[in-house]
Structure 1
């Protein structure tokens, strides 16, 4: 069933478990995610991000995700992640996405608040939930890499003010996490997660989940993380599944699909068990 983010994350916060958000840039990824959620009776969030629209356009993603979410036997929130522009977020709303992240984290603080507060008013009027980001989660490589990530960690005092003035439904925080492959084991600031969780009383979001140690996930969820974003691990699993299919003699694209889906389902299952969402639907 198609639901919004609050329908999934508020019970997660109350129940002290985490829920995975998985990007799905094609139908095979979506099948792997939603089928696994149904098999494990787990709520799930699924969608795409603005940086991934070079792979599959937003309207095409909506064409397969929205019907699949509506038909699912478990709660599924269709989320537009890291929306960088107002127009793209509006497009996601019109296409039927039930949740939006408006990422204004690189803007000056007051501009971030003003822009996200406006988005919240629009989305809430349509029954759509909004995720904001305070601090900045950089990349492990490329143009978004931060020279000193700790300079961009989320300030707990500002987090309280930000949540109050924007009216967001969940808050993405920067606590040592980063997007993409980790070159070295990250060191998350768990105490900072606890403080922000206690002071904002809001579901917190951890971006850059692929590559973190299992114990990091468990501790982060224990401290107040309710939504964990996963893409790189899933993307790499699909590739490994295709390689396995080729090695097994699959000679066509359609012949590779079952291998890709099985490999991605294994990753989704692993994360759902790790986050504690199994049986929570």
Structure 2
């Protein structure tokens, strides 16, 4: 099965009130863990590539790994650019075989965001590529994406933005944030705002960024073996499940993958200090990714048995 765009994935997800997981990838082990989980759960999947991942692994390597994943797994798969900073990066990914790109103009003015998004849309649609945009800003830090505070998405602006830019899906800000430190106190998402946006854009696929749950088992394991993660706290899974029933068709997950891998690598190295073969600690790390992604698909996203 060739790479696909997310159009049909999202249409079904919206109709059946679930979300497709967009999992950030950086290397072979992460891709293998994600794909094993998606294959076992018979779930569509989005492999998401950040600017940092493109720089770290190289776009040709990532696309060849995605090609290998398709050869071994017969399921719908999208390769998506996460937080494309400008038109040039989006163009390079479109030309390089990505089936979906995100142009992140959220740090620009409203008018500038529309202009840069429309430029990407015009180029992408000629090539049959899906375009995600963002309106509003998420607080937190993840790779090159950072903001000190959240700017929640205005529902009326969202309608105008979608109509004028022509973007295919929209990442909104309702209280999630980037990184592993999302909430200091009680976790809250603005579901009234989400409901209003969904009412104004019926049938339109929305996206949640910064939606890792930061499972405390991983935080505790990592800390036990030398990490200093302190008060890391994510989005409760029941909130994500609720969002998936309210028009959110794509939920991004990155920090949870990093936490799972790092916790298991730390434990393996601590318990087997004589080991120096990377396979000895990357194998359990890959299994940790598989287990975590499988849990997300089955119990949080609700996308099991959707192919």
Equivalent residue, structure 1, for 2:283? 258
Q: Does 1:195 align with 2:220?
A: no
SS in 1 for 2:146: coil
Quick check: 2:25–2:53 contact (8 Å CA) kept in 1? no
SS in 1 for 2:64: helix
Change in Cα spacing, 1:66 to 1:200, as seen in structure 2 (3 Å) is farther
Equivalent residue, structure 2, for 1:153? 152
Q: Residues of 2 paired with 1:101 and 1:256: CA distance?
A: 33
Q: State TM-score, norm by structure 2.
A: 0.85
Q: Residues of 2 paired with 1:125 and 1:266: CA distance?
A: 38
Q: Deviations over 1:152-206 (max 9, x none)?
A: 1111101111111111111100011110012424311001111111211311100
Q: Residues of 2 paired with 1:105 and 1:66: CA distance?
A: 31
Q: Residues of 2 paired with 1:27 and 1:52: CA distance?
A: 12
Q: Does 1:218 align with 2:218?
A: no
SS in 1 for 2:251: strand
Q: State TM-score, norm by structure 1.
A: 0.93
- 1:71 offset after TM fit, Å? 4.9
SS in 2 for 1:3: coil
**After TM superposition, which residue ranges in structure 1, 4 or more long, deviate above 6 angstroms?**
none
Aligned ranges 1:1-281 → 2 under 5 Å: 1=1, 2-69=3-70, 71-139=72-140, 144-147=146-149, 149=150, 152-181=151-180, 182-184=182-184, 185-201=186-202, 202-210=204-212, 211-247=234-270, 249=272, 250-273=275-298, 274-281=300-307
Structure 1 unaligned regions, length at least 5: none
Q: Residues of 2 paired with 1:97 and 1:137: CA distance?
A: 25
Structure 2 unaligned regions, length at least 5: 213-233
Q: Which moved more, 1:70-79 or 1:13-22?
A: 70-79
Q: Which moved more, 1:33-42 or 1:244-253?
A: 244-253
Number of aligned residue pairs: give it: 278
- The alignment's C-alpha RMSD in Å is 1.8
